[in-house]
Structure 1
Amino acid sequence: MSTRPAEPATAAFELPDDALDGVGSRPFGIYVHVPFCATRCGYCDFNTYTAGELGTSASPESWLEGLRRELDAGAAMLGRGGRTVPAAETVFVGGGTPSLLGGGGLADVLGAVRSSFGLAPGAEVTTESNPESTSPEFFATIRDAGYTRVSLGMQSAAAHVLRVLDRTHTPGRAVAAAREARAAGFAHVNLDMIYGTPGERDEDLDATLDAVLSAGVDHVSAYSLIVEDGTALARRVRRGELPAPDDDVLAARYERIDARLADAGLRWYEVSNWSLPGAECRHNIGYWDGGDWWGAGPGAHSHVGGVRWWNVKHPARYADQLASGVLPVADSETLTTEDRHVERVMLVLRLRSGMPLSDLSPGERAAAEQTVADGLLEQVEDRLVLTDRGRLLADGVIRDILS
């Protein structure tokens, strides 16, 4: 890998003092975006690139060099004026396919976080991984490096469903990888599912749930398939080659997933996430609870003290700007009080812990009372919590309260 730069990048983008003043009083995490994938999945619209798409314009080495510079510059910015640089309470390495970096590459990523921001005692450190680019040696290496959680993209146990999604791993590999991670000492292992793919049958979903539960994981994320504009899947749906996901089918699938996971002791703590007690993903909770985070890497988004910004998307431009001494910020926005309120309602209401009634305006409380009467929310002491039916219609519930 490249050598560490002698000086951090000098940022043209600066955070105002009032955004910095509260740093450390809110949860603080680091998100690292790895933009590399071996192949492009048909449903994915994330900021990712295959080797063929990048050519010689960027590489894992130039990306890591840029990442080190960005993290150093970020620590310098948050520590401006003699402030204490916040240690990362959580780190999440996502993508893309972080496991393509190998165990040694992911160890280097965590080393860059340690040398810039540092890790708080008991920090949660997660990496996403593709089952096909993992092995027992990979898991042992990243566990020794300090990673504490692994999230594996399973999506489905049915081969024909994986083909529709353009996933390259074989059925069964995700479960094997989860067991390897646990054998390497990971107490926290997540499997990601996608449900509602065209051609998926009830028996396919049941087989996927059987496989998930046989893996002994303590966390499951399950997402309904969304056909994103500009993806290969969207083009196939538009041409009539595949049917669009059916809302009634998606609702039935969700109920089936929730029932099976609940029977196994995994309870929902966010609409699309289930865990055993104590195994919730602290990094994601930080997002939902309005914490601060520095998002490093091409296209990564950050938020500190009501200011949000996002990086340029292409890995070559990202690395070039950092090499020239400038943070690769594409644009930024300062959230108004109303913006922050709307986002809080949108995020906190998705949590099992719900939202305090006191956070709502009189008009919003009146709308919430109607939603309670409709059976979509329930009042638990002084908080509003989605009912089982309300989870199926969470976006509509939130719109009704905010309208």
Structure 2
Amino acid sequence: MPSTLPDGDPVPASGELPASALRGLGARPFAFYVHVPFCVTRCGYCDFNTYTAAELGPGASHRDYADTAIEEVRLARRVLGDAELPVETVFFGGGTPTLLPPGDLVRILAAIDAEFGLRPGAEVTTEANPESVDPASLDLLRAGGFTRISFGMQSARPHVLEVLDRKHTPGRPAQAVREARAAGFEHVNLDLIYGTPGESDDDWRASLSAAVEAGPDHVSAYSLIVEDGTRLAARIRRGELPMPDDDVAADRYQIADAVLGEAGFRWYEVSNWATSDDARCRHNLLYWTGGDWWAVGPGAHSHVGGTRWWNVKHPAAYAQRLAAEESPAHAREVLTPDDQAAERLMLELRLDSGYPLADVAPAARTAVAAALADGRLETQAFKEGRMVLTLKGRLLADALVRDLLV
């Protein structure tokens, strides 16, 4: 599969970072992301860097993946030197991480702990498909240090799942939540997608109700994005399915906020709701608030001290680099102060804590006043010196960010 990664600047074979990236290392929260690029089948809407068995080709395998990932953890320790970097959060994503044996996931986590140390109370999450776990595997993950699990539910309606090419046994997501709770997982998330062609308001309400009744303490709900090169995009291009409608998506978002709010969930990021502060995803909050993270795995993107880099895309190329004791990084970029300021605005404005008014550029004050006047910003938060989005503002968040980045 050809790489679609950006070119960027070259990375030394050693993985050495610029001095600017290492300044202040340890003063910012630090995390690991571990990408597991394997799936049983490819969902029609997915453009993530994942591979089925038929797509994987020679030079990479499920069997060897944990050992390869551990080599990158050790590389991270060499690159980052002796700085004290207790790991706040670890997130295993994919793909489907739970296609690996639980023992492999636990070994990768143990390597991170051995090289860097997990901070007491660290949040450790894995994504999972409901069908890729059972009570025994969940018990092993929990005993091995995992504290949080995120299930890809997407919808409760079979005809919607069919359009997405998702395979679920009816009721299996709710059963998986119960099994995770029984294994001792205090925090459980369900991922949902809205705006799928053929989905009605009633379908979406049914999915929300099923998610709430399953008993998670966190729900993520994302509007369907049609990505170029996916099977879904091809079906839409051929006229087999209609293009998702932005107005419909806005209506579905409002339904989600109402249903989840009535069930005791509160939004804390535009696409995420939790039943308490403790239930919020601390790993994602670290991303959104300017932390550092090392991302392990093919195609994974890291960020340390204003330097961002991304690994080679294919698992075979990734494994070859590490076997040669070389960095698997494909390229990198050093963010300018303006780049970092723009990203901070874009990310913090999506949070319920908002963005400080004092940090808004003078040229953007007119856009701020307009957003307050037309109800996109909360009045009380504004009086307290912060821009916090109202429900209307959340629906128009991307447009407001564009207005503010003058």
User: What does 1:1-400 align with in structure 2 at a 5 Å threshold?
Assistant: 11-79=13-81, 83-277=82-276, 278-379=278-379, 380=381, 381-400=384-403
1:220-242 CA-to-partner distances (Å, cap 9, x unmatched) read 00000000000000000000000
Preserved CA contact (<8 Å) 1:301 1:309: yes
Alpha-carbon shift at residue 94 of structure 1 (Å): 0.1
1:11 is displaced (CA, Å) by: 4.5
Report if aligned partners of 1:97, 1:130 keep a CA contact under 8 Å in 2.
yes
Q: Which amino acid aligns with 2:227?
A: E
2:295 maps to a residue whose letter is G
CA contact (8 A) 1:71 1:117 kept: no
Alpha-carbon separation, structure 2, partners of 1:163 and 1:367: 43
- The aligned residue for residue 3 of structure 1 is none
Q: Please, which moves more after superposition, 101-110 or 318-327?
A: 101-110
> Contact conserved, 2:66 with 2:105, CA < 8 A, in 1?
no
Flag structure 2 segments of 5+ consecutive residues without an equivalent.
1-11
CA contact (8 A) 2:58 2:316 kept: no
Counterpart AA for 1:47:
N
Q: Is the 8 A contact 2:193 2:223 kept in 1?
A: yes
- Normalising by structure 2, we get a TM-score of 0.94
SS of corresponding position for 2:100:
helix
2-structure distance, mates of 1:238, 1:331: 33
- What corresponds to 1:6 in structure 2? none
Does the residue aligned with 2:378 lie in a helix, a strand or coil?
A: strand
Give CA-to-partner distance per residue, 1:360-385, whole Å, 9 cap, x none.
Answer: 11112332112111211234101000
Write the deviation string for residues 289-317 of structure 1: whole angstroms up to 9, x where unpaired.
Answer: 01100001000000000000000000000
* Distance in 2 between residues matched to 1:171 and 1:14, nearest whole Å: 49
* Identity of matched residues, %: 61
Partner SS state of residue 124, structure 2 = strand
Structure 1 residue runs of 4+, over 4 Å off?
none
Partner of 2:4: none
Distance 2:342 2:285 in 1: 17
Distance apart, 1:12 and its partner CA? 2.6
Any conservation in 2 of the 1:129–1:150 contact (CA below 8 Å)?
yes
Aligned AA (1:84) = A
- Whole-Å separation in 2 of the counterparts to 1:74 and 1:359: 34
Tell me what 1:7 maps to.
none
Task: Between 238-247 and 110-119, report the one with greater CA deviation.
Answer: 110-119
Aligned residues, how many? Answer: 391
1:124-166: CA deviation from partner (whole Å, max 9, x where unpaired): 0000001011111111110000000000000000001000000
The amino acid that maps onto 1:291 is G
SS at 2:101 equivalent: helix
CA distance in 2, matches of 1:96, 1:396: 31
TM-score by length of 1: 0.95
Tell me how far apart the structure 1 counterparts of residues 110 and 55 of structure 2 sit (CA, whole Å): 28
Cα distance in 1 between the residues matched to 2:86 and 2:365:
38
In structure 1, distance between residues paired with 2:225 and 2:390: 23
Q: The residue matched to 1:318 in structure 2 has which SS? A: helix
Partners of 1:371 and 1:26 lie apart in 2 by 32
Query: Which amino acid letter does the alignment assign opposite residue 400 of structure 1?
Result: D
Separation in 2, partners of 1:55, 1:331: 24
Displacement of 1:176: 0.7
Aligned residue identity for 1:321: R
What is the aligned-residue RMSD (CA, Å)? 1.2
Letter in 1 for 2:128: S
Contact 1:75 1:85 in 2 (8 A): no
Give the Cα separation in 2 of the matches to 1:321 and 1:23: 26
Q: Which runs of 5+ in 1 are unaligned?
A: 1-9
